[in-house]
């Protein structure tokens, strides 16, 4: 089954039963929202492709050592919403569990940690983390 954005999210999704389906929920899977469906609703598939391309360019222009992307994937907020420890010791989550974001994971050369990337129209988050999302640290959190 294809989604509003034209991608086949359902066939590879382990959470498809909880999702409700993109088309069936009018682009509001998990009771929340999806960046891809929003792009298509605002300006068609071309708007989605422009947004995704501009996001990839923006990430690559950050000049963070070892961070380069050629594609972004749709990721469920609940899956990527890690808990970060702030300098004050407070622990926070920065994303919405019921949102579908653009994201990716990039292995850091010569390092056991990975970069995690998450974005939508209002935020860009770059973090590092260990195996299974352990010990996440914010590299960049930018309001867009």
- Domain borders along the chain are 9-143
DSSP the chain: ---TTS--HHHH-TTHHHH--TTTTTS-GGGSEEHHHHHHHHHHHHHHHHHHHHHHHHHHTT--TT---S--EEEEHHHH--EEE-TTS-EEE-S-TTEEEEEEEEEPTTSS-EEEEEE-SSEEEEEEE-GGG-S-EEEEEEE-
pLDDT score at 10: 66
pLDDT score at 1: 52
Which stretches in the chain have pLDDT values below 50?
A: none
Q: Could you give the CA distance from residue 31 to residue 25 in angstroms, rounded to a whole number?
A: 8
Give the CA diameter of the chain: 46
pLDDT score at 80: 95
Q: CA triplet 60, 66, 68: central angle to 5 degrees?
A: 30
pLDDT score at 22: 72
pLDDT score at 32: 87
> Whole-prediction pTM value?
0.88
**What digits encode the pLDDT tens for the residues 70-103?**
999 999 999 999 999 999 999 999 999 999 999 9
């Amino acid at each position: 089954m294809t989604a509003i954005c034209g991608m086949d999210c359902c066939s590879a999704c382990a959470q498809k039963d909880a999702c409700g389906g993109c088309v069936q929920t009018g682009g509001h899977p998990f009771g929340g929202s999806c960046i891809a469906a929003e792009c298509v609703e605002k300006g068609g598939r071309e708007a989605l492709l422009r947004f995704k391309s501009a996001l990839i360019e923006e990430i690559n222009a950050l000049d963070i050592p070892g961070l380069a992307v050629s594609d972004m994937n749709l990721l469920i907020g609940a899956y990527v919403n890690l808990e970060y420890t702030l300098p004050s010791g407070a622990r926070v989550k920065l994303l919405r569990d019921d949102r579908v974001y653009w994201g990716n994971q990039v292995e850091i050369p010569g390092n056991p940690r990975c970069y995690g990337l998450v974005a939508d129209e209002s935020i860009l988050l770059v973090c590092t983390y260990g195996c299974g999302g352990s010990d996440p640290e914010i590299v960049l959190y930018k309001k867009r």
